[in-house]
Every structure is written in C-alpha cells, then in structure tokens.
Amino acid sequence: MEFRLALAGNPNCGKTTLFNAVTGSAQYVGNWPGVTVEKKEGRFSKGGMDITLVDLPGIYSLSPYTPEEIVSRKYLTEECPDLIINIVDATNLERNLYLTTQLAELGRPMIIALNMIDRLKKRGKEIDIKRLEDELGIPVCPISAAKEAGIEDLLHRSIHILHDVAHSENEKIEKGFFKNRAEELHDELHRIHDGLNETEDVYFPIVKSFYEWEINSAIEGIEGVICDNPKAKNNLRFSAVKLFEDDFITKDTLKLDKNSQNLVEEILKSVPENENIDRQMMIADSRYKFICRIVNDVESQKKGFEETISDKIDKLLTHRVLAIPMFFLIIFAIFGITFGSFGSMLTDLVDKLINQDFAGFLREALLSVNTKPWAVSLLCDGMLAGVGAVVSFLPQIALLFFFLSILEDSGYMSRAAFIMDGPLRKVGLTGRSFMPMLMGFGCTVPAVLGTRILENERDKKLTVFLIPFMSCSAKMPVYALFISAFFEENKPLIIFTIYVLGILLGILSGFILKKTVLKGEESTFVMELPEYSLPTLKNLFIHVWERLKDFLLKAGTVLLAASVVIWFLQSFDTSLHMTDNPQTSILAAIGILIAPVFAPLGFGNWQSSVALLSGIVAKETVVSTFGILFSAADEATRVLAVQGLFSSPLAAFSFIVFVLLYTPCIAAVAAIHKELGGAKWTVLSILWQIAIAWLVSFLVFNIGGLIL
Ligand code: GDP
Ligand code: MG
C-alpha cells in the first residue's frame, strides 16, 4: 500500500526544492513562478512506508482560472491525497496563508511546512510557531528546503498525522468522512508502527472557521443542506464555501436537486448584502482580515535590521532609467564570453579533437583494412563531417546555457520580465510572455509548449507567433561558422545584432498581428519578484545538462540521418551513379532549381539553397550540409569553403539573417501546431516567417549594398 502526499503552495515557495531533497530526484528548480505546470511524482520510503510525493504546480488560490489552478485543484479535490503538505514561504506569510486557508477547508489531513526559515532569520524576523498552529488549527513545521534543514522532522510529523488520522475516532470519520481510506491506513500503520512512539507535540489538524459570523453561519447552513451529497462529503467546508461564492465548477459537480438549490438560495438571501462587493469578494475579504490578524500576532521583527543586499541590488537593476540598458549590457557580456575568443577557443579544441584527430584516425583505420571507398566516404565525408561540424559547438552551447541559468536561478530573470513588461505591453503582451520567449533562445519547442502558462488565449497565440523570432540555439552553429568566416573582428557585435534584430522583428510582428488578426483586450500582469539568491551548482548542472542531452540526442538521430541523406544526394547523380563532381549531383540539381529565389538576397548559389532547405529538418543541418558539400571535416576548411561561396560579407550577413528568420524546424512546427490548435494558424505562422525572412534579407542586402 502506498501513501500519497501532495505538495501544495504558492509559486516559488520551494516546492520543487523540497521535492528534490526528499525524493533525491533532480527536477529543475526555477526561481520563476510557473516553472511546474504539470504535476510531478516521486517515490521514497520512510520508516517502512512507501510514499508517493506529488509536486503540484504553484498556485495562489483554488479558483479555477489558470492552468496551474486547474491541475492542482483537480488533484486535491478528486484524487484525495492522504496528506497535504502546504509549503508556506515564511518571508511572505500574508500572501501564502491565503492559499492555506483554502487548502484547510478541503478537509484533508494537512501539515504546513514553513519554508525559508534561513532567509527569515537573515532579515531579523521571527515567527511564533506554536501560536500560528493554534490560530490556524494546523500543525506547522519550520524547515529550510534549500539547506535541507527540518525535513526529517517534517516527514516524521507527517507520518504521525497519518497515524493519528487513522486512529482517530472523531466525528469526521464516523460521518464517513475519509472512512475507507482511514481504515486502510490504520491497518497498514499498525503493521509498520516503527519509530512512531507517541510524541506530545504533534498537533492534530482541526477545522477552523476563518470568517465573520454572518458569513460563517450561512456557510454552516449550506453545509447542512449538502452534507449527504456524495460529491460534497469528502470536502464539505470547501464545497459549501464554493457554493457561497457561486462557483460554477462546484455547482456542476454537486448537481443539487431543486429542493436543495432553493434551500441554498434562501440561506444566501439571508446574508447581509453589500452593494460594492460580491460574495466571492466577501469571502476573500473575510479571509484576509483573519490572516492579517494572525500575521500581526505571530510575526515579530528584531531591532537593528535594515535593507538587505538583495534590496540594494534590486534598486539598481530595476532602476527606472538604467534597467533596460543594464539588461542589454548583461546579455551583451554573455555573448562576448560565449562567442568571443573564450568560446571559440573551446570550440576549436573540440573541433580539433573530433574533426581532425579522430576523423584522420578513422579514415586511416578504414583504409588500412581495405574498406570500400564509398563506405569510407559515407562514414567520413557524410556521417562524421555532418555531425562533427555541429558537435564542435557543444562548448559554446553549454556556456550560453550556463550563463542563462545563472540569470534565471539568481532571480534576475523575473526582474527582466518585470522590466520588459513595459516594452511588451506596446505589442499587446505582458511580462508573463517573457519567460516563454526567453526559452525560445534555447529551443522553440519547449518554449512554445511553455505558453500554456498564459491564461489568455490571445496572449498565447501572439506569444507562439513571436517565439520563433527568438534565435534558437540550433542556429548558433550557423552564426558561429559565418562569423569565423567573415566577421572575425567583431564577433560579439554581429551576434548581438542578429539576436536583437530577431527580437525587434518579433516585436514588430506582434504589433502588426495585434492590429490585424489578433485584436483583443490587454490582460493584467501581476508578478512577485523572488529574492535574489546564489544559484546552486547542482541546479546549474541540471539545467545545462538537460540542454546538452537534447542536443546530443539530436546529433545522434536527426542530424545523423540528415547527413546520410545529404551525403547520398551529393554523391550520386540524377541517373544514380556515384559521382565525384558535386556539380552533377542530385543535390546540385535541386539547388539549381531553387537558387533563383535567393539570388536577389545575395546568395544565389545552389549550395546555400540546399543548405537552407536541409535546415528545415533541423537548423544545425545547415552547417552539416556545408561540411558535407566541401568534404570539409575541420573548421578551417569549412571557413575557407564558405568564404569562397559568398561574394561579400554583406551577402553572408544577409544569409544569416535569413537563417535567423525563416521557418522553424519540423519539430518546432509540430509544437506550434499543437499549441495553436489548428492548421490555419500554423500555416499563417510559417508563411509569415518566410515572408519576413525574404523581405528583411532583401532589404539588408540591397540597402546595405547602397550604403557600403
Ligand atoms: P517552487 O516554484 O515552489 O517549485 O519553488 P522552487 O523549489 O523552484 O524554489 C524557488 C526558489 O527558492 C529557488 O531559487 C530555491 O533555491 C529557493 N529556495 C527554496 N527553498 C529555500 C530555502 O529554504 N531557503 C532559501 N534561502 N531559498 C530557498
Ligand atoms: Mg517548482
């Protein structure tokens, strides 16, 4: 038998940190609200018990408006976990307790893990735990998930509560509340009962009322009406409060008969009306009053503590005028390190290892055992040249993600979203779209899927449209190759220009879409800013590794397959004879056919045409194709070959602009299709991208030509 514990709490209160600490797993911990949209499960054993721990998405309340709320509420009300561990951020007691008062009404056994105690201490604050327990009627266990302190105690007490619930013969169980499960638990706990010696200080949860008496008596009245309803039995208080609030989901689930409906109506009529606020607000208001009183009672501030360092840094980084320049400065610095001499040096190192040393060794080895020439060609000039050309950029990709993770984990990204809220509003979005857009710099696929966190359908569509404009990391090898070939002197500047160009065009597209097909209301944006904190090495490692894993997987599958296909098309002519002359190959025939389309953009050669075509499979294949086309195993030869192909740096720049902007890869198109939910929008999005790409490259090449 298994016990199910659910972690519930506000975004960013430390659920995933606790989850990882307890289950020993490595979920990504984000210093960002909304990182966990799906619930995650982990298993562990404690005192002979098998426990399943569920990490629910972060929520502020149980009203079903956001996807996070829907997932969490569904789980808590329908799956009935044996115990709710409500994580409360001790440094934000007031806001966090709002959810607590709602969870408490679900009628499940519950314990509060009062997290971030370390941070609270640093600020010179204290919370009276005993008093908090008494006022809420819920056991409270102080912990620090990040420092792994207090967790043992939390688990120990959790098990005790399960034990007590099973033993307890109180009224609730007699009513059938939780009865079957309690009996099961009882038997199981009886069998285990290790380390469960009686302790005094275990506090058994009791149902308290958080409301003023008029509201309270109405709620109790409603409870009386619905107490026999099978759907309400398990969470009577919660259902009654929801009916009081006119919550449509609860009305739907309970399916009250006419008579009960009338009774409820009668009770609600007796509640003194207030013209300014509806009943939902009456409840919220009543709860906040209750919470304010508690917080006042339990919280105290030691004297002599002032502004924290975090506050000081914050003032600077969110400064009214300096914030945006600082943001770009930081990003520029990151590009400087990643694409500048340090990053290139690492790439050269890997390149030498794979594409010179290993490639040379492989060729010799194959020849020495008399391998057929076509097989040597397939392995060396096809597979290795194609995949190796891309894999050499691994260090730079790792570097970029290393820095981005630092920004995210430290809490800066949340500020950035806050700072960008203004500019994003200009295109009809809010700071909430910033995170998905930012993820787009990694890979369009998860970024597009991440738009689920947006509540508003229009915001979501608009964001999905904009994400492909954020240059994904797969395009990086293309830029890297081209800047080595043409822009050796000002690498970071060119890269920066490319990225900014993408962002600007994205914003411009958003603006146009907002004025045409995606008209609508602007939504509001509320976001809390998490505390700055030092990123942990473990977290950085998880983040970078996830990205590299995806990348390597792609290299081993899609890129490898694409390389074989390209090698084949390049090595055989149209009558399927092997050929040494690339000009007569099938690939050339295809390229020559489409090249005229690109001639006005400055790169009418057939080689770039096929490279772009292959890039639809995955953006890295653009580089693979050049690698195979010139049998250019190593970076230096590739650079020379590419230099020979483009008439001027301007033509080369026009090419990378096109790569930046044209249709995203197949996987991304699939993701876009999934999230936009319709062929019409998907096709629109693809056509939009191709049109913009062609137009902008055309302008770059032709206007640039006039100026230079
Ligand atoms: P979730 O959104 O609730 O899953 O929160 P996370 O587990 O992702 O944590 C949010 C942030 O709070 C991360 O930066 C954590 O490192 C940090 N954090 C979590 N627990 C603690 C704690 O006990 N003390 C401190 N100082 N930071 C914590
Ligand atoms: Mg989380």
**Percent of the chain topping pLDDT 70:** 89
Q: Is the CB of 54 under 6 A from ligand 1?
A: no
Q: Is the CB of 474 under 6 A from ligand 1?
A: no
Is pLDDT of 75 > 80? yes
C-alpha 529 to ligand 2 mean position (Å)? 15
Judge residue 549's burial from the number of C-beta atoms within 10 Å of its C-beta, 0-12 exposed, 13-18 middle, 19 or more buried: exposed
Q: Is the CB of 473 under 6 A from ligand 1?
A: no
* pLDDT tens, position by position, 257-288: 899 999 999 999 888 877 777 888 889 888 99
CA gap 75, 63 in Å, rounded? 13
C-alpha 525 to ligand 1 mean position (Å)? 22
Which among 10, 12, 72, 115 is the best mutation to test ligand 1's pocket, defined by most ligand atoms within 8 Å of the CB? 12
**Percent of the chain topping pLDDT 90:** 27
Among 85-89, 292-296, 336-340, 346-350, whose mean pLDDT is lowest? 336-340
| pLDDT band (50, 70, 90) for residue 399 | confident
Contact at 8 Å (CB) between 115 and 86?
Answer: no
Is pLDDT of 13 > 70? yes
Paired residues of 115 in beta bridges: 89
| Stretch (H or E) spanning 87 | strand 83-89
Instruction: Looking at the CA of residue 18, tell me the nearest atom of ligand 1.
Output: 7
Average pLDDT for residues 17-29, to the nearest whole number? 79
| Stretch (H or E) spanning 239 | helix 236-244
Average pLDDT for residues 584-604, to the nearest whole number? 92
| pLDDT band (50, 70, 90) for residue 177 | very low
| pLDDT band (50, 70, 90) for residue 527 | low
Nearest ligand, CA of residue 31? 1
Average pLDDT for residues 18-27, to the nearest whole number? 82
Is pLDDT of 32 > 80? no
Q: Is the CB of 14 under 6 A from ligand 1?
A: yes
Which among 20, 29, 88 is the best mutation to test ligand 1's pocket, defined by most ligand atoms within 8 Å of the CB? 29
Q: Is the CB of 118 under 6 A from ligand 1?
A: yes
Residue 610: predicted pLDDT: 92
Q: Is the CB of 30 under 6 A from ligand 1?
A: yes
Closest alpha carbon to 627 in 614, 363, 666, 655: 614
- Of all protein residues, the one whose alpha carbon is nearest to atom 21 of ligand 1 is 146
| pLDDT band (50, 70, 90) for residue 247 | confident
| pLDDT band (50, 70, 90) for residue 514 | confident
| pLDDT band (50, 70, 90) for residue 173 | very low
Residue 575: predicted pLDDT: 84
CA gap 651, 82 in Å, rounded? 65
* CB contact set of 701 (below 8 Å; sequence gap of 6+): 600, 601, 602, 650, 651, 654
CA gap 293, 215 in Å, rounded? 18
C-alpha 416 to ligand 1 mean position (Å)? 19
More confident residue, 153 or 580: 153
- Residue 283 identity (one-letter amino acid): I
Average pLDDT for residues 316-337, to the nearest whole number? 82
Domain coordinates in residue numbering, the chain: 2-167, 181-272, 323-520+549-707
More confident residue, 128 or 666: 128
* CB contact set of 517 (below 8 Å; sequence gap of 6+): 684
Residue 675: predicted pLDDT: 84
Average pLDDT for residues 449-474, to the nearest whole number? 83
C-alpha 309 to ligand 2 mean position (Å)? 25
| pLDDT band (50, 70, 90) for residue 33 | very low
More confident residue, 551 or 217: 217
- Of all protein residues, the one whose alpha carbon is nearest to atom 13 of ligand 1 is 31
Residue 521: predicted pLDDT: 63
Architecture of domain 181-272: Orthogonal Bundle (1.10)
Q: Is the CB of 115 under 6 A from ligand 1?
A: yes
Q: Which two tokens stand for residue 294?
A: 């508690």
Closest alpha carbon to 469 in 221, 689, 209, 172: 689
Residue 497: predicted pLDDT: 92
The three-state DSSP-derived secondary structure of 259-299 is HHHHHHHHHHHCCCCCCCCCHHHHHHHHHHHHHHHHHHHHE
| pLDDT band (50, 70, 90) for residue 351 | confident
Residue 189: predicted pLDDT: 63
Q: Is the CB of 20 under 6 A from ligand 1?
A: no
Top-ranked range on mean pLDDT: pick from 3-7, 318-322, 442-446, 631-635: 3-7
C-alpha 131 to ligand 1 mean position (Å)? 25
Residue 183: predicted pLDDT: 65
C-alpha 224 to ligand 2 mean position (Å)? 38
C-alpha 130 to ligand 2 mean position (Å)? 28
| pLDDT band (50, 70, 90) for residue 526 | low
Residue 26: predicted pLDDT: 63
Paired residues of 169 in beta bridges: none
* pLDDT tens, position by position, 530-542: 667 778 888 888 8
- Of all protein residues, the one whose alpha carbon is nearest to atom 25 of ligand 1 is 116
More confident residue, 467 or 70: 467
More confident residue, 227 or 700: 700
Is pLDDT of 171 > 60? no
| pLDDT band (50, 70, 90) for residue 332 | confident
Is pLDDT of 294 > 60? yes
C-alpha 31 to ligand 1 mean position (Å)? 7
Is pLDDT of 194 > 60? no
Strand-strand pairing, 110-115 and 125-127: unpaired
More confident residue, 528 or 470: 470
Average pLDDT for residues 448-462, to the nearest whole number? 77
Average pLDDT for residues 480-495, to the nearest whole number? 88
Is pLDDT of 341 > 70? yes
CB-based neighbours (< 5 A) of ligand 2, an ion: 16, 35-36
Average pLDDT for residues 226-252, to the nearest whole number? 88
Contact at 8 Å (CB) between 218 and 267?
Answer: yes
Closest alpha carbon to 627 in 617, 615, 612, 637: 637
The domain made up of 2-167 has a fold known as Rossmann fold (3.40.50)
CA gap 297, 95 in Å, rounded? 16
Among 80-94, 101-115, 312-326, 651-665, whose mean pLDDT is lowest? 312-326
| pLDDT band (50, 70, 90) for residue 182 | low
Among 80-94, 281-295, 436-450, 686-700, whose mean pLDDT is lowest? 436-450
Q: What is the DSSP string of 305-346?
A: ----HHHHHHHHHT-TTTHHHHHHHHHHHHHHHHHSHHHHHH
Is pLDDT of 144 > 90? yes
* pLDDT tens, position by position, 433-447: 887 787 788 778 878
- Of all protein residues, the one whose alpha carbon is nearest to atom 17 of ligand 1 is 14
CA gap 233, 454 in Å, rounded? 34
Average pLDDT for residues 564-571, to the nearest whole number? 88
Contact at 8 Å (CB) between 149 and 143?
Answer: yes
Average pLDDT score over the chain: 83
Residue 453: predicted pLDDT: 64
Contacts 24+ apart (CB under 8 A), 607-611: 607/645, 608/645, 608/646, 608/655, 610/566, 610/569
Q: Is the CB of 119 under 6 A from ligand 1?
A: yes
Average pLDDT for residues 481-498, to the nearest whole number? 89
| pLDDT band (50, 70, 90) for residue 592 | very high
Top-ranked range on mean pLDDT: pick from 31-35, 380-384, 439-443: 380-384
* pLDDT tens, position by position, 611-654: 999 888 888 889 888 888 887 667 788 888 889 999 999 999 99
Residue 68: predicted pLDDT: 78
Contact at 8 Å (CB) between 456 and 522?
Answer: no
